[in-house]
Amino acid sequence: MAIKSYFTMTSSESLPTAEELTTAFRTFNQLSEDLTNSYRGLEEQVAKLHNELAAARSERLETLIEKEMLATRLEQILAALPAATIILDAKNNIIDCNLQAEKFLGEPLVGELWSEVARRSLTAVNDNPLERRLVNGGYVSITSSSLPESSGQVIVLSDVSEMNALQESLNQKKHLFEMGEMVASMAHQVRTPLSAAILYASQLSHPAIDENKRQLFSKKILERLHYLERQVNDMLVFAKEGHLAMEIFSLQALVDNVRVSLLDVISEGKVQFYALNNCDLDRMKGNADVLQGAIMNLINNAMDAIKEEGRIDLVVERYDAQNILIKIKDSGRGIEEENLQRIFEPFFTTRVAGTGLGLAVVDSVVKAHEGYIECTSSIGVGTEFSLVLKCIEQDFFPNLSGEE
Q: What are phi and psi of 304, to 5 degrees?
A: -65, -30
Residues 378 and 313 in one domain: yes
Count CB-CB contacts under 10 A for residue 225.
Answer: 13
Residue 194 in any domain: the answer is: yes
200 and 342 share a domain? no
Amino acid residing at 93: N
Residue 330: give its domain's CATH number.
3.30.565.10
pLDDT tens column, 239-248: 665 567 788 9
pLDDT at 3 over 60: no
Same domain flag for 326 and 349:
yes
Query: Per residue in 283-336, pLDDT tens?
Result: 999 888 889 888 988 998 888 888 778 899 999 999 988 899 999 999 988 888
Confirm whether 404 is domain-assigned.
Answer: no
Residue ending a domain, choose from 68, 92, 115: 68
Looking at the structure, do residues 153 and 58 belong to the same domain, yes or no?
Answer: no
Tell whether 256 and 387 lie within a shared domain.
yes
State whether 101 and 175 are in the same domain: no
Please tell me whether residues 142 and 171 are part of one structural domain: no
CA–CA–CA angle 359, 361, 365 (5° rounding): 115
Q: Are residues 327 and 393 in the same domain?
A: yes
Q: Rounded to whole angstroms, what are the CA distances from 173 to 1, 13, 75, 167, 313?
A: 112, 130, 43, 10, 39
Cα separation, 43 vs 137, whole angstroms = 75
In a domain, 73, yes or no: no
pLDDT at 267 over 80: no
Beta bridge partners of 108: none
Cα-based distances in Å from 77 to 71, 80, 81, 98: 10, 5, 6, 10
pTM of the model: 0.49
101: domain range? Answer: 81-159
Residues 376 and 257 both lie in one domain: yes
Within this chain, do residues 169 and 293 fall inside the same structural domain, yes or no? no
Q: How confident is the model at residue 397, as a pLDDT?
A: 36
Write out pLDDT tens, residues 120-175: 888 877 666 778 888 888 888 888 888 777 778 888 888 887 777 787 788 777 76
Residue type for position 119: R
pLDDT for residue 53 is more than 70: yes
For the stretch 96-125, what's the b/e string if a residue is b when 16 or more beta carbons lie within 10 angstroms of its beta carbon?
A: bbbebbeebbeeebeebebeebbeebbeeb
Residue 31 domain-assigned (yes or no) = yes
The alpha carbon of 308 is separated from its chain's Cα centroid by a whole number of angstroms, namely: 46
Tell me, yes or no, whether 37 and 124 share the same domain.
Answer: no
- Show Cβ contacts of residue 18 under 8 Å, excluding neighbours closer than 6 positions: none
330 and 389 fall within a common domain = yes
